[in-house]
Amino acid sequence: MSALLSTMSSVARPVSGGAQGEPRSSLRLLPRALPLPLTLTSDADADADSDADSDADADAGFSVPRTMAVESDDPGRGQMTVDLTGRTVLVTGATSGIGAACAEAFAGAGCRLLLAARRLERLEAMAVRLREEPGVEVATASLDVRDRRSVEACVGGLAPAWSAIDILVNNAGLARGLAPLHEGETDDWEEMIDTNLKGLLWVTRAVLGGMVERGSGHVVNIGSIAGHETYPGGNVYCATKHAVAALNRCLGIDLLGTGVRVSSVDPGMVETEFSLVRFHGDEERARAVYRGLEPLSAGDVAEAVLFCATRPPHANVRELILMPTAQPAAIHIHRRG
């Protein structure tokens, strides 16, 4: 019982922002042995997982700095951040917005970057810029996540030096339209379902087997507040993001005992190309979405993704909801003036 109470005590408390403009977040930080609050493993299993994780990090040559001393019998306790130097990170939808910011963040953490997106020219330009930073290795892949065979060929055809993906950031996604369901464009629906849901499935399926085989890895899904709430006209987009939230939770259960973690970072309003894409290039309508408030930046979300990836092996951020201070809920927004 004492071991169980010790494990339960590591669940994080919600964090709220302070000054105006600082984002508020709600995160659920669960020990790896608890993918759901009521799913428990035995003390023996938890100890075995901790030992395996520690050995895996040591074998890979990764340094795990101990930044805070905590009295515990668990060897993973007290490790507040993990050094990601040399880890291989695959980011989908990497040419703009959150994907590009994630690439920057992981480059700054010393990771090797495998960047995938449809716009190859833009992708190559980004890679050239990132390679100017000392020690940053970047490989690129032209990839449309909607094409299952293309995804399988891309991941299956990686050179040996890049095939062991440590962290997958499932960022590729989009919204199309904001019409009531009975007025919606079915082509828009198919694009959202094929990208946000099926594309995420194809990439995760292609990468996950290797992670399980190696006994380590981390999948970070970029979700949305639309996966927890709904709003007028959000019908199909909200449905795809609710599906991502459900998959994220199911994956945690599927991966229990494998050494592979799964997290979801679910932001509210982020000022990127998102609204421009949603409104099919209507710049004025896209600008109006963010008028009168300070939304999140892509960098804010990338910081949250990096936070998830740098937790010590015994801890996993299952879901992190990150909102602008001016947006406490999907449909409640405070606009100045």
Q: Tell me the C-alpha distance between 204 and 170, whole Å.
A: 8
DSSP codes, 22-33: PPEEEEEEEETT
Q: Any idea which residue has 């759901």 for tokens?
A: 36
Contact 176, 192 (CB under 8 A): yes
The amino acid occupying position 26 is: S
DSSP codes, 315-329: EEEEEEEEE-TT-SB
**Cβ neighbours, 10 Å, residue 164:** 16
By annotation, the residues acting in catalysis are: 237
Contact 30, 39 (CB under 8 A): no
3-state SS assignment for residue 11: coil
Q: Tell me the C-alpha distance between 248 and 219, whole Å.
A: 9
Q: Which residues does 203 contact at the CB level (< 8 Å), separation at least 6? A: 90, 92, 145, 151, 155, 168, 170, 172
- The DSSP symbol for 270 reads B
Contact 311, 28 (CB under 8 A): no
Contact 245, 319 (CB under 8 A): yes
Q: Are β-strands 24-31 and 315-323 bridged in parallel, bridged antiparallel, or unpaired?
A: antiparallel
Contact 25, 37 (CB under 8 A): no
Q: How is the chain split among helix, strand and coil, in percent rounded to 5?
A: 40, 15, 40
